[in-house]
Amino acid sequence: MIFEDGRQKRDFVHVRDVARAFRLALEQKSAAGHVINVGSGNAYAIADIANMLARAMGVPELGPEIMNKARSGDIRNCFADISKARELLGFEPQFRLEDSLDELAEWVREAQAVDRGAEMRRQLEERGLVS
């Protein structure tokens, strides 16, 4: 289930890149006192992510449900400017989302998951949080 039209963009960064950025920030004295964005430096449309995940899960025919409704308080696009991380930390993302989805798909196949999407949708609509 995807809100809006699915073309809103987000930055997805691998947790290993985040951990490395934290380590670099602790090691670089020049980073002290700075606010530093950590991300992949790439903006991905949410609908594209859903399609990539479906392929990684072996169900490419399974398309996302596009709600065409916005969630209250949500923003259209949110992705990181990592120029300060590059400058102060020498940070460069090492893991691309496209190359990491197989690992995620394997974890999902082994996890015990319960789909509560319909319940989530009902509660958001009851509370007037989607329009």
Give residue 112's pLDDT: 84
93 domain-assigned: yes
- Domain of residue 25, CATH code: 3.40.50.720
Find where tokens 């890149």 sit: 17
1 domain-assigned: no
Q: What is the pTM of this model?
A: 0.82
33: left (phi over 0), alpha (psi -120 to 50) or beta: left
20 domain-assigned: yes
Quick check: 47 and 66 in contact, CB under 8 A? Answer: yes
105 domain-assigned: yes
Quick check: 88 and 36 in contact, CB under 8 A? Answer: yes
29 domain-assigned: yes
**How many CB atoms are located within 10 Å of the residue 58 CB?**
9
Phi, psi of 82 (to 5 degrees): -95, 15
Structural domain tally of the chain?
1
Phi, psi of 66 (to 5 degrees): -90, 120
Residues recorded for the chain:
131
Question: Tens of pLDDT along the chain (131 residues)?
Answer: 899 999 999 999 999 999 999 999 999 999 999 999 999 999 999 999 999 999 999 999 999 999 999 988 889 999 999 999 999 999 999 999 999 999 999 998 899 888 898 999 899 989 989 87
- Residue 69 structural domain: 9-126
